[in-house]
Structure 1
Amino acid sequence: MLDAAFSSEFNVNGRFITAEVRRRRYWYFDLPDGEGSKKRTYVGPVDDPEITKRVENFKDLKADIRERRKLVSTLVREAYLPRPEGKTGDIVQALAAAGFFRLRGVLVGTVAYQCYPAVLGVRLPSASMVTGDADFAQFHSISVAVGDQMPPVLETLRTVDPTFREIPHQADSRFTTQFSTRSGYKVEFLTPNTGSDNYGGRPTPMPALGGASAQPLRFLDYLTYQPIRAVLLHGAEVPVNIPSPERYAIHKLIIASRRRTDNDGTAKSRKDRAQAATIMEVMIEQRQSEDLADGFMEACDRGTAWQEAIRKSMSQIDDNIREKIQSALASGIRKLERNPAEYGLV
């Protein structure tokens, strides 16, 4: 714990140096300030074995970060795995450092989709990865139970872009679930709505989220249940929590059918279906049909509204791809000792 605190206190862009004062040597930390000069911080005496040990460990950490940066660059350059747009990566990294993922938060939406190529070991279409926002989710019960909280979210976001501002919630201006920059980039916090639809339009206070509230959404409990660990290929890589790929794909089918039919909603529906179909095809090719079938059955078992939403989106996927997916789902269901006919499959 002391080593972790020591490492987090000193930026890896700086370096430790020694200086002699009154015939005794001391450790100092120099950090460039971006304006051609540097800030010097006192650390402690060189002859203190605990301090010197942590300085040496920090050097190892710094070397490791350099290696991880090289690895990320190699994966992006030679394996053609996606790197998020710079601001997006910086935002996810800032929230990760602030403790969001440690507090069991989950990265969702298209930024999460950008992590699946590394998870699945394949390239995915770049057209489905374009986004101008970032979405983060946490269960309200977890936010209450963890007994810990992030530093103020607005301050954290402003370390990335000082123009970030709170957007008061339309239903209750005392609460904020969205933050936006002057250029229009948005960060939103979400939470599952597992109660009445009456709560869908009201912001939910989230004790762990550093002053942010969250927008309750239907179906989000399915998406964020049992997330997996992954990395976002940004900087020296950012450890994140994301939905399992089968839940991400099935959830995209559900919400695609529920988008509004205006121009923007129609485009988002197409993007949702494209992401869902791509992930399902990859899972089928990698012989993960049982995992996909398990996620499919769980969603269908939640009721007719879920079944109809999935059916509607599946009907709008290219015929050949849809037949491939349905055949694999039926096979996976049989392997799980269930009857595909119960789920509209033969």
Structure 2
Amino acid sequence: MKSVDLMYQTMLAELGQRSLDAAWTADFPSEGRFTPANIKGRKYWYFDIPDGHGGTKRRYVGPDNDPDISQRVADHKRDKDDLRARRRLVNTLTREGGMIAPDAMSGDIVQALADGGLFRLRGVLIGTVAFQCYSGLLGVRLPMAAILTGDADIAQDYAISREVEDSLPPIIELLQGVDASFRPVPHRSGSAASSAFQNADGYRVEFLTSNRGSDDYVDQLANMPALGGASADPLRSLDFLIREPVRTMLLHRSGVPVVVPDPSRYAVHKLIVASRRHINGQGLAKRQKDIRQAALLFEALQQTRRSADLALVYNEAWERGPAWQDAIRIGAGMLPASDADRFKTVLIDGAKKNREEIEPPFGD
């Protein structure tokens, strides 16, 4: 596995800092522009913004001699210049640096949710779109075959959703702002609520939450007050995946600051998920992708000297009991021989660094 050149890793860090520092306002978004107008001998500022139909909408701002407005105009120009610079950084990182950009639909969906406040409300991007972010996060080149997707998965802890006392705008409106054909997908429980939305091309956006209670809740939607009217499907082991997530960048347009699972947790969780896949329909292909992504992350974690991180989260999962141990064993047993050997080596090396015992899933 090739490493990403240090120069490009430094550029990614710069992009992240610029994106996090950018202050966008609802009144004057970046795609608009301030326009001066002379009316009866006096100069005024207006703000023109695309209306989505080839025209523009004009909004009155105020007189030219108002110092606060003059400062706002100057700041907006500076921010637009920074936006263009960040877009150039993204293009360099993906075209020359070997990092991964999402497909346009995935990128637009994540950007719309991020702009709506998803990550501020402690949502976590999971699944293959999150996996795409690990190239930059770990500084390695990941093969495109492991990152193709037709969906976006979002997770939020149930307790967080109830406690933040804030919410995204209506999810359906955010999604239809990207593609007007998005519609709620009826839930298997027959509930009027929905945890998934799909467009006319079959692209699916799904919301998930953790289930640490009874199996009676597996097929029942969880009400998520912070998700703008969307409910979420409760899943076993999801709490393990989204614990202590990390911030990074999705390399879309000018860069989207996102929150994703820790890569070590993602890798171990993929083994568990693979062990539970049914092989009917698309299940077999999804299981193969789970195993491939886990194996690639084990290699990347070894290459970037993060074996101690992997050993810590592996032990956390192992100590959850026999059901988790069986799932890890089954998932690890699906790894090709060379990847299984690497996984064992990385675990043992990490345990030594952590000065703790470890029981690899393959035995001695």
Tell whether the structures are fold-level matches, with TM greater than 0.5.
Answer: yes
Structure 1 residue 35: Cα displacement = 5.3
Instruction: Give the 3-state SS of the residue equivalent to 1:283 in structure 2.
Output: helix
The answer to whether structure 1 residue 127 and structure 2 residue 145 are counterparts is: yes
Partner of 1:211: 229
One-letter amino acid of the structure 1 residue matched with residue 122 of structure 2: R
Structure 1 residue 56: Cα displacement = 0.9
User: 1:220 and 1:180, CA in 2 relative to 1: closer, same or farther beyond 3 A?
Assistant: same
Deviates more, 1:119-128 or 1:6-15: 6-15
Distance 1:165 1:248 in 2: 29
Deviates more, 1:155-164 or 1:22-31: 22-31
Pairwise CA RMSD of aligned residues?
A: 1.7
One-letter amino acid of the structure 2 residue matched with residue 8 of structure 1: A
User: 1:242 and 1:75, CA in 2 relative to 1: closer, same or farther beyond 3 A?
Assistant: same
Distance 2:30 2:161 in 1: 30
| Percent of pairs with identical residues | 49
Distance 1:117 1:244 in 2: 13
Contact 2:127 2:153 in 1 (8 A): yes
Partner of 2:173: 155
In structure 1, list runs of 5 or more residues that go unmatched: none
Structure 1 residue 202: Cα displacement = 0.2
Instruction: Give the 3-state SS of the residue equivalent to 2:282 in structure 1.
Output: helix
Contact 2:218 2:233 in 1 (8 A): yes
Distance 1:83 1:343 in 2: 34
The answer to whether structure 1 residue 202 and structure 2 residue 195 are counterparts is: no
Structure 1 residue 337: Cα displacement = 2.0
Partner of 1:335: 353
Partner of 1:177: 195
Distance 1:329 1:266 in 2: 27
One-letter amino acid of the structure 2 residue matched with residue 258 of structure 1: R
Distance 1:219 1:302 in 2: 10
The answer to whether structure 1 residue 142 and structure 2 residue 160 are counterparts is: yes
Structure 1 residue 34: Cα displacement = 5.6
User: 1:174 and 1:286, CA in 2 relative to 1: closer, same or farther beyond 3 A?
Assistant: same
Contact 2:157 2:210 in 1 (8 A): yes
User: 1:36 and 1:163, CA in 2 relative to 1: closer, same or farther beyond 3 A?
Assistant: closer
Instruction: Give the 3-state SS of the residue equivalent to 2:110 in structure 1.
Output: helix
Correspondence for 2:87 among 50, 69, 75: 69
Partner of 1:238: 256
Distance 2:348 2:211 in 1: 30
1:57-96 mapped onto 2 (5 Å cutoff): 57-96=75-114
One-letter amino acid of the structure 1 residue matched with residue 135 of structure 2: P
One-letter amino acid of the structure 2 residue matched with residue 230 of structure 1: T
Partner of 1:272: 290
User: 1:202 and 1:74, CA in 2 relative to 1: closer, same or farther beyond 3 A?
Assistant: same
Correspondence for 1:248 among 235, 259, 266: 266
Instruction: Give the 3-state SS of the residue equivalent to 2:178 in structure 1.
Output: coil
Structure 1 residue 6: Cα displacement = 6.9
Structure 1 residue 308: Cα displacement = 1.1
Distance 2:98 2:359 in 1: 40
Partner of 2:279: 261
One-letter amino acid of the structure 1 residue matched with residue 317 of structure 2: A
Cα distance per residue 1:11-58 (max 9 Å; x no partner): 312211211223321111122446554322111111111121111111
Distance 1:342 1:316 in 2: 14
The answer to whether structure 1 residue 111 and structure 2 residue 129 are counterparts is: yes
Partner of 1:41: 59
Partner of 1:300: 318
Contact 1:33 1:39 in 2 (8 A): yes
Distance 1:82 1:341 in 2: 34
User: 1:185 and 1:36, CA in 2 relative to 1: closer, same or farther beyond 3 A?
Assistant: closer
Contact 1:300 1:343 in 2 (8 A): no
Instruction: Give the 3-state SS of the residue equivalent to 1:183 in structure 2.
Output: coil
Contact 2:315 2:358 in 1 (8 A): no
Deviates more, 1:102-111 or 1:53-62: 53-62
Deviates more, 1:177-186 or 1:20-29: 20-29
Deviates more, 1:260-269 or 1:132-141: 260-269
One-letter amino acid of the structure 2 residue matched with residue 304 of structure 1: P
One-letter amino acid of the structure 2 residue matched with residue 161 of structure 1: D
Structure 1 residue 267: Cα displacement = 1.1
Structure 1 residue 194: Cα displacement = 1.0
